[in-house]
Chain A
Amino acid sequence: MKILTLSNCFFFALTLPLTTITLSAAHAQQPVSGYDYLTPEMQEMQIDDFGNPGMLTVDAGEIRFSTAGKNGKSCASCHGDDGSKLDIKHIASYPVYSTALKKPLTLRGQILLCQDERIGGPSLGHSSAEALQLEAFVRRLALGETVNVDVSGEMAPYYEAGKNLFHTRWGQVDIACHQCHVYHAGRTFRGQTLSQGQSNGFPGYRYTAGKAVSTPERITGCLANLRAEPYASDSVEYINLEVYMNARGNGLKIETPGIRY
């Protein structure tokens, strides 16, 4: 211990009491938004519509929302000019169970269905910039709405599957999501504060990557850090993870586009 420098001592004085707090809070499992772990500067950036770089993606989505598809209709033809006819409470409840598809449908999945079937295409890739823009615009409409995913009934097995994935060890690093995001939320890892890994800020803007990303892309970021092979953004694994992760955040407010690490 003799080698501790002054500044390190200071740092420990700050962080030691915190350690006890974070562990007890993490196990209490109260959902806490990633926002609460940000620096004040980042929080300010998020709530300032003009300073939030994620708003560029939302704005691009708004334009796309009223752009005609191949059949001459646009999203706005059915959902109102500014999406005003969309039910924001329902948006906050995605993923929902689709009786037609017999599986969970994510918000992005629903948007791509409408894109294909209701405005006649062109089809957008699941991970395309266009799909991200539309999703960001639509979820932004539900800003401040409470996340409220129903995982009873037919959704239950998908929720369980997602929960399993969240508790699976990945990659060469061989660590599971919950080990960082449940046990260590609030501690620092490489100068970043670990959050609970909630999805209420997505699609959001990743400060460190300098771009907007959706929940599946954010998961890919963590899998890459774990030196694991990521999945495709429309894979069953990511859909199940999104079911679990959104439901795990039930009660949080939608913050799209959140500013995040």
Chain B
Amino acid sequence: MQKTRLFRLPLLFAASLIIPTTYATDASSSGQPYYEWKVENFEIKEPLGGLEGNAVRGKAIAGNQSRGNCLACHLLPIPEEPFFGNLGPPLTGIGSRQSTGMIRLHVVDQSRFNPETVMPGYYRTPAQLNRVAKALKGKTWLNAQEIEDVVAYLTSLK
């Protein structure tokens, strides 16, 4: 109980911004097929569908609340968007710490690293998901192109 009490002080600080939590439903994954992916040594070496990512678009996706929404949990060098969450580690400099293939697996399916992760599965196999909202059935959160864009952006963070 004593430990719990300690929560209060710093938290009051952190919670002063009130924003609805809804992940806006954006059917962005429509119109693209689902590409299978393969994990070797905690990496997805091949770009999804052989697509080429674009870091500028990737930054926009990562910063946008209704798309990647990465800022909800991570610090990223996007000063124009307010920083919201600290559930995940800062992603600044991730491109100099990890290979592109490993970054790709984090974004596609973080549960491969940590089965209990709270990071959303942005490209998990739709057939394995439980009770997806009807309008989103069969779709991934981000489509393959968006995943590659985000991967290109993170890779560029040296």
- Is there contact, CB below 8 Å, between A192 and B19? yes
B17 pairs with A191, CB closer than 8 A: yes
Q: A227 and B136: CB pair below 8 A?
A: yes
The docked-state distance in angstroms from the alpha carbon of A1 to that of B89 is: 12
Chain B interface (Cβ within 8 Å of chain A)? 1, 3-4, 6-8, 10-23, 25, 65, 69, 72-73, 75, 77, 79, 82-87, 90, 92-93, 111, 116-118, 120-121, 124, 126, 129-134, 136, 139-141
Which residues of A214-257 have CB atoms within 8 Å of chain B's CB atoms?
A: 221, 224-229
Q: Are A18 and B22 in contact (CB under 8 A)?
A: no
Instruction: List A residues at the B interface (Cβ < 8 Å).
Output: 1-5, 8, 11-12, 14-15, 17-19, 21-22, 24-25, 28, 30, 32, 36-40, 168-175, 179-180, 183-184, 186-194, 207-209, 221, 224-229, 261
| 8 Å CB contact of B140 from A3, A11, A39, A172 | A172
Cα A208 to Cα B69 in complex, Å, equals 18
Query: Within the assembled complex, what's the spacing in Å between the Cα atoms of A175 and B117?
Result: 8
Most buried by B among A193, A208, A261: A193
Please name 10 further chain A to chain B contacts, defined as beta carbons within 8 Å, in addition to the given A4-B92, A171-B130, sorted by A numbering.
Answer: A168-B130, A172-B121, A172-B136, A173-B23, A184-B87, A207-B18, A208-B21, A227-B23, A261-B18, A261-B21
Would you call B15 and A5 a contact (CB within 8 A)? no
Given contacts A173-B120, A184-B87, contact A39 B15 (CB under 8 A): yes
Q: Which residues of B contact A8 (CB under 8 A)?
A: 75, 83
Which residue in A21, A40, A171, A227 is a CB contact (below 8 Å) of B7? A21
Given A174-B124, A179-B116, A209-B20: A188 in contact with B15 (beta carbons within 8 A): yes
A192 to B16, CA, bound (A): 8
Please judge, given known A-B contacts A171-B131, A189-B87, whether A180 and B118 are in contact too, CB under 8 Å: yes
Cβ–Cβ < 8 Å partners of B1 in chain A: 30
B10 A188 Cβ-Cβ under 8 A:
no
Contact of B131 among A170, A183, A207, A225 (CB under 8 A): A170
Q: How many A-B residue pairs have CB under 8 A?
A: 169
A-side contacts of B22, CB under 8 Å: 224-225
What residues on B are CB-neighbors of A22 within 8 Å?
7
Q: Are B129 and A172 in contact (CB under 8 A)?
A: yes
Inside 8 A of B69's CB, which chain A residues have their CB? 190
8 sampled A-B residue pairs with Cβ under 8 A: A11-B86, A21-B6, A25-B7, A38-B15, A39-B12, A184-B118, A191-B82, A261-B21
A40 and B141 form a contact (CB under 8 A): no
Highest count of chain A CB atoms <10 Å: which of B6, B92, B132: B132
Docked Cα-Cα span, A22 to B132, in Å, equals 30
Asked if residues B18 and A229 are in contact (CB atoms below 8 Å), the reply is: no
Q: Which of the listed residues A17, A190, A192, A261 has the most CB atoms from chain B within 10 Å of its own CB?
A: A190
- Bound CA span A14–B12, Å: 11
Q: Which residue of B lies closest to A31 (CB)?
A: B4
Q: Are A192 and B23 in contact, with the CB atoms below 8 A?
A: no
Partner of B19, one of A14, A21, A190: A190
Residues in chain A near residue B65, CB distance under 8 A:
190
A172 lies within 8 A of B133 (CB): yes
Q: In the complex, what's the smallest C-beta–C-beta distance from B121 to chain A, in angstroms?
A: 4
Most-contacted residue by chain A among B6, B12, B14 (CB, 10 A): B14
Q: Are A37 and B141 in contact (CB under 8 A)?
A: no
Contact call B6/A193, Cβ cutoff below 8 A: no
B86: chain A residues at CB < 8 Å are: 11-12, 15, 19, 187-188
Taken together as a complex, chains A and B put the C-alpha atoms of A152 and B87 apart, in Å, by 36
**What is the minimal beta-carbon distance from B41 to any residue of chain A, in angstroms?**
23
Contact A228 B73 (CB under 8 A): no
From known contacts A171-B130, A209-B20, infer whether A179 and B4 are also in contact, taking CB-CB under 8 Å. no
- CB <8 Å contact, B14 and A188: yes
